């Protein structure tokens, strides 16, 4: 058994905090966590600029790097720019997210069907505005009751 209790959160780099917040909140339905460096106390302490969004039980810290990152090619929707986050949603929500992406002209790949034996039904692949790869999928056992989420990424 691994000597960790679970994944707490991920920190990803974004080129524009406002744009990223808008994307995660309005496409994926996240809620705003916090923002750092919009208060004098943060400036006095020299803290880095970052924020966070919370997707149900998972916290994504949005870090604003001091250097522009290389961007994956525009027409590449599936990949791992460092890594890829895959979020599980219900089938209904899956369709809503596809609609939200279309409305915002965010290009995506899919829905891709997984093999019948796979626990996953379908996935779509896309990127956030800073080129971070994302996947949204629904599980064949979506009726199963999972434990109530507990957000361990919030300090």
What tokens does 93 get? 């929500």
Q: Select 131 or 153, whichever has its Cβ closest to another protein.
A: 131
Shortest CB 19 distance to another protein, Å = 8
Q: How far is the CB of 53 from another protein (least distance, A)?
A: 14
Nearer to another protein, 39 or 102 (CB): 39
Query: What are the tokens at 147?
Result: 């434990």
Integer angstrom CA distances of residue 134 from 34, 39, 88, 126, 142: 22, 31, 11, 5, 20
Evaluate whether 91 touches 142 at the Cβ level (below 8 Å): yes
| Tokens coding 129 | 């505005």
The token pair that represents 47 in the structure block = 């803290």
Cβ 18 to another protein shortest distance, Å: 5
Residue 90's φ and ψ, nearest 5 degrees, are -75, 165
Smaller CB distance to another protein: residue 38 or 83?
A: 38
Q: What is the distance between the alpha carbons of residues 23 and 19, in angstroms, rounded to a whole number? A: 6
Residue with smaller CB distance to another protein, 47 or 103: 47
CA–CA dist 89, 91 (Å, integer): 7
Nearest approach in angstroms of CB 32 to another protein is 10
- Which residues would be at the binding site for another protein (CB under 8 A)? 15-18, 35, 37-41, 43-47, 49, 64-69
- C-beta of 66 vs 115, nearer to another protein: 66
Q: Report the nearest approach of another protein to the CB of residue 68 (Å).
A: 5
């Amino acid at each position: 058994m691994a000597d960790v209790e679970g994944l707490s959160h991920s920190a990803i780099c974004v080129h524009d905090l406002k744009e990223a917040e808008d994307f995660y909140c309005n496409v994926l339905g996240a809620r705003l966590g916090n923002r750092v460096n919009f208060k004098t106390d943060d400036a006095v302490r020299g803290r880095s600029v970052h924020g966070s969004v919370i997707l149900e039980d998972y916290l994504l810290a949005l870090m604003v790097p001091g250097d522009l990152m290389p961007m994956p090619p525009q027409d590449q929707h599936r990949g791992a720019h460092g890594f890829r986050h895959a979020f599980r949603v219900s089938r209904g929500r899956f369709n809503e997210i596809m609609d939200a992406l279309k409305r915002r002209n965010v290009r995506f790949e899919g829905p891709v069907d997984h093999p019948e034996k796979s626990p996953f039904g379908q996935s779509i692949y896309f990127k956030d505005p800073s080129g971070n790869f994302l996947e949204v999928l629904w599980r064949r056992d979506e009726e199963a009751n999972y434990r109530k989420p507990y957000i361990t990424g919030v300090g």
